[in-house]
Structure 1
């Protein structure tokens, strides 16, 4: 493989190609490096490789974006998402220092980037499936959310500079995926949906045939499409978080664009609920179950309440727009985010249960009766949150909603 091959035209790299790429294009490893390369990605879109220097115990991640999504060839996606991801990680690293991996290099020809290896962390979804707990997560993630969402809004930024970011992070291909998979297809009998047979009749009755629910989902969809409020991550689930007891790192912001701030907050809460419901239906009664589900319930409550608390603090310190100082406007603005948060939490719970892209918290439940119960509970919570989203202002309301619905099933 020659240098020219990497610098003239894009192609999808193999493990061998990535090793050669690192040797010729990156000035990262020592001259005596003994490199090994392994593809480690299991996501829906990209190719992710871990390159290690076995001699000097150093490593780097290479992430490459292809022209189609790995989940399905139906999704044609611009490789420009790799540029978006590399740039937003650098920006988020400034706004929320310590909460994203460091980016070392971006290559516009090969549509790839080199970034910090987080092998000492664990993907949060996997850790939660293994019933691990992380008491610092709610504090970490709410700092990340407030800093990245409020500090990129018109409340704080110069309006022209903010509009330049809107232009830089326009992301139509990946937005279309969200518009279809989150806000459209789960609410009717779409051929791309993947419904667990045990709950098909429940889905038809409670989701697809509920016109009020469809109306509210339509409102949320068009808000997502038109509300350029904050520079959002766009896919902030527990599979997009690397974690260890004292560290939280948010990864994979390739869906980033200017959208409603509640989208990120709602995605975090929904995926914590998936883990919570998994624990409720699969764990035997006892101290371990009480500890794990108690941790998640507390975390869900804290994500909402700490977000509100930190949002108010940062607003008071950083808000610059004169009209943002109008009495009552901060409360109005925050309440609109909280309403959207609840609606997005509901949409995420529904779409990950009946749509094309599932979560292991549900699909990994081997007992069919337990899985059916878990999925019905998630759908019912999701539906309730969408319909009652205007009233969802505190963390305890999420816990109470979950408790009420769990008792019904």
Structure 2
């Protein structure tokens, strides 16, 4: 089969497609294929060779988003994802799965199967801890983000890269679902937990000062082509084990404020804390898991700051970026964006179209309602006071304050 016309594959179609496109398995071997995607956008297949146990992943972009048939995105998003994975692998080797092929006709990526790793959100729902995560994720973020800015890249090359990663359909989804609808629900798609309906009305829909800050941040996101960001860097976009961290699924990649990615990590680590706090019955186990979540949040910020400084000194090419004091000024803007994005991600995951299992799986309604209120209070602090979050301890103090308000 030539595969010269796009069609949406089913699991039974994929083995022959793989054999046609790449030389990875034996040519005459029997392959098995299973659809394993549980995300909001793409169709993901694992193709396995039973005789050897070898496997590979095939991801195909469909014309409609799985999260909602009313949402559409260009199926060219696979090209963007394959290209950013190659760039990220150059910036931070071994942090992302290897791409074997991008097929521009079938809109598929054939990539490394992250064998021996578990989706991080799933692992955190099982209350596993990962002592190396803060170190590994900050290395990935610092080097993949800072190295794709004008600080480090030749400026014309960077502008060409911006053009290549224009991603209007998926950026529009972020503009709506992250920066707009959670604060006004003008499309009537928000998922608000009934016990918190009045709280959300008061704290979000009626808070015009908060809405003003969200508006400022929305237009900052749309107009600040600072860095090549992952665009959806949460614990569902990470595969992990005790030795290694993989980042994947960057189909929302675009040029934007680098704090977007860092803030997403911070928010999702706190969702894990909320789940552990609500569902772990053993006080000792709760202390261990929830304590790790908080220390990880603090470590991510502090390690990001220290590695950012080193990477800046090693890779800066722009003459004016080397002016004394500019690095500190630049970093403060990144940290402000980080706090803001932690807040935006937190709010949209509590009330927006795409909630998170860390919260929705809390079966005790009163505990879930409390967790959501803590997250929203904390998120508002992040957004309204974003310039004050300059180190890991600032986050810990804000978290303690939000928890105390619901005690």
- With the shorter chain as reference, the TM-score category is over 0.9
Equivalent in the alignment of 2:318: 321
Give the structure 1 partner of residue 23 of structure 2: 27
> Is 2:276 the partner of 1:279?
yes
TM-score scaled by structure 1?
Answer: 0.98
Residue among 175, 179, 185 paired with 1:179? 175
2:56 corresponds to: 60
Report matched runs for 1:14-53 at 5 Å: 14-53=10-49
Tell me the secondary structure at the aligned position of residue 72 of structure 2: coil
- Please give the alpha-carbon distance, in whole angstroms, between the structure 1 residues aligned to 2:282 and 2:395: 22
Identify the residue that residue 260 of structure 2 maps to in structure 1: 263
1:226 corresponds to which of 223, 227, 236:
223
2:287 match: secondary structure: helix
SS at match of 1:205: helix
Q: Secondary structure at the match of 2:71?
A: coil
- The answer as to 2:89 corresponding to 1:93 is yes
Q: Secondary structure at the match of 1:75?
A: strand
Match of 2:337, SS state, is helix
Q: How many residue pairs are counted as aligned between the two chains?
A: 405
Paired residue for 2:201, among 187, 200, 204? 204
Q: Equivalent residue of 1:59, what SS?
A: strand
1:123-157 Cα offsets, whole Å, 9 max, x none, are 00000010000000000000000001100000011
Q: Which residue of 1 aligns with 2:141?
A: 145
Q: Provide Cα deviations, 1:360-382, integer angstroms capped at 9, x if missing partner.
A: 00011111111111111111111
* CA displacement 1:8-39 (0-9 Å, x = unmatched): x1111001111221122222101342210000
- 1:236 — aligned with what? 233
Question: Does the 8 Å CA contact 2:19/2:27 hold for their aligned counterparts?
Answer: no
Secondary structure, counterpart of 1:55 in structure 2: coil
The alpha-carbon deviation at position 68 of structure 1 amounts to 1.4
Aligned counterpart in structure 2 of residue 253 of structure 1, from 240, 250, 255: 250
Does residue 170 of the first structure (1) align with residue 170 of the second (2)? no
Partners of 1:33 and 1:56 within 8 A in 2: no
Of the candidates 323, 339, 343, which is equivalent to residue 342 of structure 1?
A: 339
Which position in structure 1 is the counterpart of 2:362?
Answer: 365
> Which structure 1 residue ranges, 4+ long, deviate > 4 Å from structure 2?
none
5+ residue gaps, structure 1: none
Secondary structure of the equivalent of 1:231? strand
Q: Is the 8 A contact 1:152 1:231 kept in 2?
A: yes
1:263-293 C-alpha deviation (Å, 9 max, x unpaired)? 0000010000110111122223521111101
State the match for 1:388 in structure 2.
385
CA distance in 2, matches of 1:139, 1:234: 20
**Which residue matches 1:375?**
372
Return the offset for 1:43.
Answer: 0.4
- In 1: Cα distance, 2:339 partner to 2:317 partner: 27
Give distance in 2, aligned partners of 1:380 and 1:263. Answer: 20
For 1:150 and 1:117, the matched residues in 2 are separated by: 27
The one-character-per-residue Cα deviations of 1:70-103 (angstroms, maximum 9, x if unpaired) are 1111111001110000111011011000100001
Aligned to 2:157: 161
Are 2:77 and 1:81 equivalent residues in the alignment?
Answer: yes
Corresponding residue SS for 2:68: coil
- 3-state secondary structure, aligned to 2:69: coil
Cα separation, 2, equivalents of 1:282 and 1:324: 48
Q: 1:117 pairs with 101, 113, 118, which one?
A: 113
Aligned-CA RMSD value: 0.9
Does residue 192 of the first structure (1) align with residue 162 of the second (2)?
no
1:194-238 CA-partner distances (Å, limit 9, x unpaired): 111010000000111001000001111000000000000000000
- Checking the alignment, whether the CA contact within 8 Å between 1:84 and 1:254 is kept in structure 2 is yes
TM-score (norm 2): 0.98
Q: In structure 2, do the counterparts of structure 1 residues 225 and 359 end up closer, same or farther at CA, with 3 Å as the change threshold?
A: same
- Residue 189 of structure 1: how far off its partner (Å): 3.1
Could you tell me how far apart the structure 2 residues matched to 1:212 and 1:283 are? 36
